[in-house]
């Protein structure tokens, strides 16, 4: 058995999604910008996909723009909002994905934008009183706060953040990559001006995503070129990617209740097994608290041990694919900017397990037993 427990990094493609995409690789190959029938049939399919996404998110198709993924959508929302509207102050957190953090650093260095980082506690809970303090003292602000953290799974209260942004007239972007397709987003309720999606996080294809852009916030495009995406993103569309994204989101919404229950059950099982079989095991951030974290992510904190440096490698040779964080290759905490920001003891080991509808209880048991054996071996 080889077990894949790295679904926050990417998810396997759903066969139903592949079946929807295949005709757009082989038969319907026209360029959607061409005015002849080969082009028009593909254009119609893209617009249908856009309507599907918009309907699921309770917004208008005119506010949905397809991109190459979550990173591009985050970059476009942050860079283009600040540059188009001349925004001089941004608020974010140290726990964001690098798609947001590095974009903020660029704005700071190249555009002289002042970036404030929100306070949080040692489990990654954000201080919303601090947000209000910052918002009330800085007019014309861009706030970028993720819906859920990809490493520790913490769910942020983006409705409350959206309401604060509205109160102080700030623009609000939320990186929703980890919740899109796993939670319902109702854009009439949310109070966000920008949210994003990345198809490969919900069993769609890689290299395609979207940006929801509030029609009341007019921004210039990130990518210059042709008139594609209503002048918001130059470049020939990733047609089969877009078709796959819409299909994957449709399936995710269709089956959400059942999959949420099932995956939360797998995560609960993992928590139980690890607590039973390992001594001194904790969970980083809020990842073991059901209503405060993604049901797909569990970040496990393991005792100080020589094995920690090679933890992910040891799991891999024992047939388990897991991760230490977004761009982290070792099991030691030093590789993760999120765990560092939480001041997690660097001698402890950390591993992120992330689950999908394709995982089984047997795989969970196997992973928990393997981890327990690795630590028992070294402590024996
Ligand atoms: N934001 C978050 C929270 C993510 O987890 C990821 C992917 O790991 C991204 C952004 C980037 O998305 P993509 O891989 O589509 O560029």
What's the gap in Å between 71 CA and the centre of ligand 1? 6
> What are the DSSP calls for 139-151, one per residue?
SSEEEE--SB-TT
Q: Closest residue (by CA) to atom 4 of ligand 1? A: 177
Residues 160 and 290 in one domain: no
Distance of CA 342 to the CA centre of its chain: 19
| Band (88; pLDDT cuts 50, 70, 90) | very high
Q: What's the CA gap between 142 and 347, in Å, rounded?
A: 37
Q: What is the β-pairing status of strands 141-144 and 209-213?
A: unpaired
Which domain-ending residue is among 231, 252, 273?
252
Q: Which residue in this structure is represented by tokens 């928990």?
A: 368
Average pLDDT (107-121) is 97
Nearest C-alpha neighbor of 172 from the set 210, 119, 135: 135
What's the gap in Å between 177 CA and the centre of ligand 1? 6
CATH number, domain containing residue 158: 3.40.640.10
Phi, psi of 8 (to 5 degrees): -80, -20
Nearest atom, ligand 1, residue 150 CA? 5
Q: Closest residue (by CA) to atom 9 of ligand 1? A: 70
What's the gap in Å between 265 CA and the centre of ligand 1? 25
Residues 203 and 280 in one domain: no
What's the gap in Å between 377 CA and the centre of ligand 1? 36
Tell me the per-residue pLDDT of 348-379, one tens digit each, with 9 for 90 and over.
999 999 999 999 999 999 999 999 999 986 55
Is residue 148 within 6 Å of ligand 1 at its C-beta?
A: no
Tell me the per-residue pLDDT of 175-205, one tens digit each, with 9 for 90 and over.
999 999 999 999 999 999 999 999 999 999 9
Choice between 141 and 331, residue whose per-residue pLDDT is larger: 141
Residues 134 and 278 in one domain: no
Is residue 14 within 6 Å of ligand 1 at its C-beta?
A: no
Instruction: Give the pLDDT score at 334.
Output: 55
Tell me the three state secondary structure of residue 283: strand
What's the gap in Å between 275 CA and the centre of ligand 1? 30
Tell me the three state secondary structure of residue 185: coil
Q: Closest residue (by CA) to atom 8 of ligand 1? A: 9
Nearest C-alpha neighbor of 125 from the set 92, 156, 165, 151: 156
Element at 197 (helix H, strand E):
strand 194-198
Residues 106 and 218 in one domain: yes
Average pLDDT of the chain, as a whole number: 95
Q: What's the CA gap between 339 and 336, in Å, rounded?
A: 5
The DSSP letter of residue 79 is I
Which of 68, 76, 99 gets mutated to test ligand 1 (max ligand atoms within 8 A of its CB)?
Answer: 99
Q: What tokens were used for 213?
A: 């852009």
Total domains present in the chain? 2
Contacts of 363 (CB under 8 A, 6+ apart): 1, 3, 5
Residues 226 and 115 in one domain: yes
Nearest atom, ligand 1, residue 200 CA? 15
Query: Residue 15 burial (CB < 10 Å; 0-12/13-18/19+)?
Result: exposed
CATH number, domain containing residue 292: 3.90.1150.10
Which domain-ending residue is among 185, 218, 252?
252
Residues 25 and 143 in one domain: yes
Instruction: Give the pLDDT score at 312.
Output: 93
Nearest atom, ligand 1, residue 206 CA? 15
Q: What's the CA gap between 53 and 19, in Å, rounded?
A: 18
Residues 294 and 220 in one domain: no
Active site residues: 328
Nearest C-alpha neighbor of 209 from the set 298, 119, 97: 97
Instruction: Give the pLDDT score at 348.
Output: 93
Residues 129 and 24 in one domain: yes
Residues 352 and 265 in one domain: yes
Residues 40 and 149 in one domain: yes
Is residue 177 within 6 Å of ligand 1 at its C-beta?
A: yes
Residues 337 and 320 in one domain: yes
Instruction: Give the pLDDT score at 328.
Output: 40
Tell me the three state secondary structure of residue 334: helix
Q: Is the pLDDT of residue 251 over 70?
A: yes
Tell me the per-residue pLDDT of 14-47, one tens digit each, with 9 for 90 and over.
999 999 999 999 999 999 999 999 999 999 999 9
Which of 11, 70, 324 gets mutated to test ligand 1 (max ligand atoms within 8 A of its CB)?
Answer: 70
Is residue 199 within 6 Å of ligand 1 at its C-beta?
A: no
Is residue 178 within 6 Å of ligand 1 at its C-beta?
A: yes
Contacts of 44 (CB under 8 A, 6+ apart): none
Is residue 93 within 6 Å of ligand 1 at its C-beta?
A: no
Instruction: Please report, rounded to a whole number, the percentage of residues in the chain having pLDDT higher than 90.
Output: 93
- Report whether 5 contacts 320 (CB < 8 A): yes
Q: What's the CA gap between 325 and 310, in Å, rounded?
A: 14
Which of 198, 299, 327 gets mutated to test ligand 1 (max ligand atoms within 8 A of its CB)?
Answer: 198
Which domain-ending residue is among 252, 282, 310?
252
Instruction: Give the pLDDT score at 379.
Output: 57
Q: Closest residue (by CA) to atom 7 of ligand 1? A: 9
Q: Which residue in this structure is represented by tokens 């604060």?
A: 164
What's the gap in Å between 35 CA and the centre of ligand 1? 34
What's the gap in Å between 201 CA and the centre of ligand 1? 8
Tell me the per-residue pLDDT of 288-335, one tens digit each, with 9 for 90 and over.
999 999 999 999 999 999 899 899 999 999 999 999 854 343 444 458
Q: Range of 282's domain? A: 3-10+256-379
Instruction: Give the pLDDT score at 330.
Output: 44
Q: Is the pLDDT of residue 144 over 50?
A: yes
Residues 152 and 85 in one domain: yes
């Amino acid at each position: 058995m080889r077990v894949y427990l790295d679904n926050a990094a990417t998810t396997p493609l759903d066969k139903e999604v592949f079946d929807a995409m295949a005709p757009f690789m082989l038969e319907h190959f026209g360029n959607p910008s061409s005015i002849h029938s080969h082009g028009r049939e593909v254009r119609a399919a893209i617009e249908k996909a856009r309507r599907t996404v918009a309907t699921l998110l309770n917004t208008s198709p005119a506010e949905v723009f397809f991109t190459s993924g979550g990173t591009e959508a985050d970059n476009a929302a942050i860079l283009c909002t600040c540059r188009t509207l001349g925004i001089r102050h941004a608020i974010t957190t140290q726990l964001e994905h690098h798609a947001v953090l590095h974009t903020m650093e660029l704005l700071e260095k190249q555009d002289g934008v002042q970036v404030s980082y929100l306070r949080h506690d040692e489990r990654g809970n954000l201080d919303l009183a601090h947000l209000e303090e910052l918002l009330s003292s800085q007019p014309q602000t861009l706030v970028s706060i993720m819906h859920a953290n990809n490493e520790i799974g913490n769910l942020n209260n983006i409705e409350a953040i959206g309401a604060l942004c509205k109160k102080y007239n700030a623009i609000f972007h939320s990186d929703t990559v980890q919740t899109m397709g796993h939670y319902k987003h109702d854009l009439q309720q949310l109070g966000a001006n920008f949210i994003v999606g990345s198809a490969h996080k919900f069993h769609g294809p890689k290299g395609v995503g979207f940006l929801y852009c509030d029609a009341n916030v007019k921004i210039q495009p990130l990518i210059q070129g042709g008139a594609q995406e209503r002048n918001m993103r130059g470049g020939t569309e990733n047609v089969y990617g877009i078709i796959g994204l819409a299909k994957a989101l449709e399936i995710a919404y269709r089956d959400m209740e059942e999959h949420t229950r099932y995956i939360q059950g797998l995560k609960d099982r993992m928590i139980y097994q690890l607590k039973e079989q390992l001594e001194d095991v904790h969970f980083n951030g809020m990842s073991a608290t059901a209503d405060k974290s993604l049901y797909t992510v569990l970040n496990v904190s393991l005792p100080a041990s020589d094995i920690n440096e090679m933890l992910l490698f040891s799991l891999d040779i024992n047939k388990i694919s897991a991760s230490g964080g977004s761009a982290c290759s070792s099991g030691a905490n030093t590789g993760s900017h999120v765990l560092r920001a939480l001041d997690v003891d660097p001698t402890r080991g950390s591993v992120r397990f992330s689950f999908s509808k394709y995982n089984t209880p047997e795989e969970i048991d196997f992973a928990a037993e393997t981890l327990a054996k690795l630590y028992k071996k070294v402590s024996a």
